[in-house]
Chains A and B, each alone.
Chain A
Amino acid sequence: MRVLIVEDSVLLRAGLGRLLEDEGIEVVGEAGDAAAFLSEWERTRPDLTIADVRMPPTHTDEGIRASVELRAKHPEAKIIVLSQYVEERYAKELLADGNGGVGYLLKERIADVGEFVEAVERVAAGGTALDPEVVAQLFARRRNPIDALTPRETEVLSLMAQGYTNAAIAEQLVVSSGAIEKHTSSIFSKLALEPSATDHRRVLAVLQFLEADR
């Protein structure tokens, strides 16, 4: 896998590079601000970009804006955005095009190397990865139409939002894959999602969830 790292802190850039190389992931480029991000992406065409939200010059949300801009031009670009804090709107802006292949994680998750690498692989394959804290915040905030879901379905949706597959969810909740299938199809119908390619629908469910109550 070829990865582009966009991070203004040299220290973190180097640390992240070492970590990825350990896992056999090739770092094909590095950038420290939004402009360099876009030009490096065009040059290297990576399988995945890992970008910090906070970058020069304003140190606010350059990373998100550059990512959204890039994906508008190249919907196939896969991006994981790392943030110092949870901001659900960042997640919403990233997921808005409904294409998947995006992730939004708190920076400190990188330290849990195993889970981080899993998220990297998932997003590179076109899935999603939302930080558990982001998901928790979304649930705290939105009541509709989530109220219509049973507690178990809410639990499943929350894991789905984090990006887990049915098999992974089944493993976490210690139930059979079949049971999770049943829950997910019930969630899809309660959220009024038409049957379509499963992966696409999962992203839409999360998106629906983000749009609710707003």
Chain B
Amino acid sequence: MTALSMSRFLRGSTYGIVGFPMAILWLTIFTTLLSVSGSLLIIGIGFALLSISLRAAGIAGMVERRLLVEILDVKIEQPARFSSGPGFANLILDPLRDSSYWRDLVFIGLRAIVGLLAFAITVAVWLFPPFAFSTIIWGWFVDWEFIEVFATLVAGIGVLISGPFVVYAITEIQVAFARTLLGPGHRQLQEQVSTAQRTRDLSVDAAEAERRRIERDLHDGAQARLATVAMDLGRAKRKLEKSGGDSEIEAIIDAAHTDAKAAIVELRDLARGIHPAVLTDRGLDAALSEIAARCTVPVHLDVQLHQRAPAHIESAAYFAASELLANVSKHSKAGQAWVTVRSDPTHLRIDVSDDGLGGADPAIGTGLDGLHDRLASIDGVLSVHSPLGGGTTALVEIPLNQRAQ
């Protein structure tokens, strides 16, 4: 027997032994409480007593959770308790309406019965082998036949070998009960998940709204002012040209004009990177045809959507396609690329493929990390198939309608 399983056997045995006093304690308390409240149910006071019994079961559950940690090192999270607010009536009614208290009570009942069994088994497993082996000494005095002593010895060896497994099994059964009944219920876990999802959805929406706001501010502010500067420089340039003025000044104005126009383009690209206005106004098809036209590789674009997806999904899909097309431009050395966008009632799929070199490894800095993260925030998945020399196919799948209610 290895050290690890020896320690498990010892822990399981301790838990089994402790099962006896606990069973007696719980049986005493709860048979009394429940029988009294049961008999008084006809008059209202019985409900109050039942509520008290349930609260007591809650405390008993805490004690049992503590025992599980201390003896078996099994941690079970306490379920969140339902509370409908202050007030005496709620104090009475809450436990009755909260399934977690009832589950505590069921566990206590099971623990009492299984605990007694576990205690009996543990005691037998520990005491029977010494008893059996000692027959060699005292068996002769009580006139046992050889065969009786032999059978007892064999039984002792059998228990010695199988005992730890039996103790282990009964411990595991109790742990399984505890996990099912003392932990947060399935519904509660689901609620936690959906709360987390809602929170995440809200932050995705907030980020989306913020990006749009910044884009709008840039458009109304810096972009408009810069456009005016470029226009005025254009006017100055034209006037100088017409009047055949100073060529030195003309060169300066010309440089300023060129820079202003470049700044407009840069600012426009920056704004587009933050949030493309065309996406909000005209949807994925229009926004993608813009980036397809700007790609250095000829792109065959095919977008077929039944209806517009929610803004945060459109936005993620747009950035996925533009990121993937940027990769095609930068790394693939492809002659052609294809972007196909399809939707069904559950998913939006974007397929970006090229006939380039292949061998793209998402693990080594091809700029796909950010895309992975961005997609993960809306449960989207990116898969890349890129055999050496065989082109690259990237598939993005984004679930639709997956939002928490």
Contacts and interface: CB of A to CB of B under 8 A. Distances in A.
B272 A11 contact: no
Contacts of B77: none
A158 B261 CA distance: 24
Interface string A101-143: 0000001101111100000000000000000010011001100
A54 B224 contact: no
B293 A107 contact: no
A22 B235 contact: yes
Interface stretch (B151-159, B188-196, B279-287, B309-317): B279-287
A84 B257 contact: no
A141 B231 contact: no
B292 A111 contact: no
A85 B231 contact: no
Contact of A111 (B220, B227, B299): B227
A9 B276 contact: no
B290 A112 contact: no
B178 interface: no
Given A84-B268, A111-B264, A16 B293 contact: no
B238 A113 contact: yes
A205 B264 CA distance: 32
A84 B289 contact: no
Contacts of B231: 15-16, 18-19, 110-111, 113
B379 interface: no
B264 A11 contact: no
B232 interface: yes
A9 B226 CA distance: 12
Nearest to A116: B234
A136 B292 CA distance: 11
A74 interface: no
Given A88-B289, A89-B286, A111-B260, A15 B228 contact: yes
Contact of B286 (A19, A87, A111): A87
A108 B293 contact: no
Contacts of A12: 224, 227-228
A96 B230 CA distance: 32
Which of B261, B264, B280, B290 has the largest number of chain A CB atoms within 10 A? B290
A190 interface: no
Contact of B234 (A11, A111, A141): A111
A11 B227 CA distance: 9
Interface string B257-281: 1001100110010001000111011
A111 B233 contact: yes
A140 B227 contact: no
Given A15-B232, A111-B233, A111-B264, A85 B227 contact: no
A103 to B, nearest CB: 17
A87 B158 CA distance: 84
Contacts of A14: 228
A111 B347 CA distance: 44
A85 B276 contact: yes
Chain A interface size, as a band, is 20 to 34
B314 to A, nearest CB: 14
Contacts of A16: 231
Interface in A7-47: 9, 11-12, 14-16, 18-19, 22
A19 B235 contact: yes
Given A9-B224, A18-B232, A110-B227, A141 B290 contact: no
A108 B224 contact: no
A129 B57 CA distance: 82
Contacts of A144: none
B265 to A, nearest CB: 7
A137 B227 CA distance: 23
A85 B277 contact: yes
Contacts of A9: 220, 224
Nearest to A138: B293
Contact of B261 (A54, A111, A137): A111
A15 B227 CA distance: 9
B289 A11 contact: no
Contact of A140 (B264, B276, B298): B298
Nearest to B282: A87
Contact of B290 (A22, A60, A86): A86
B65 interface: no
B293 A19 contact: no
B48 interface: no
B297 to A, nearest CB: 10
Contact of A113 (B227, B235, B264, B265): B235
Interface in A60-102: 60-61, 84-89
A57 B81 CA distance: 49
A86 to B, nearest CB: 6
Nearest to B271: A84
Interface string B40-83: 00000000000000000000000000000000000000000000
B216 interface: yes
A85 B233 contact: no
Contacts of B278: 85-87
A111 B257 contact: yes
25 contacts: A11-B228, A12-B228, A15-B232, A16-B231, A18-B232, A22-B235, A22-B238, A54-B219, A60-B280, A61-B281, A85-B268, A85-B276, A85-B277, A85-B278, A86-B278, A86-B293, A88-B289, A108-B227, A108-B261, A108-B264, A111-B260, A112-B261, A113-B238, A137-B290, A140-B289
Given A9-B224, A85-B268, A113-B238, 11 more contacts: A9-B220, A11-B224, A11-B225, A18-B231, A61-B281, A85-B290, A86-B290, A86-B293, A108-B264, A112-B261, A140-B299
For the complex of A and B, list the 5 residue pairs with the smallest distance between their C-beta atoms, beginning with the closest: A111-B230, A137-B293, A15-B228, A113-B234, A60-B281
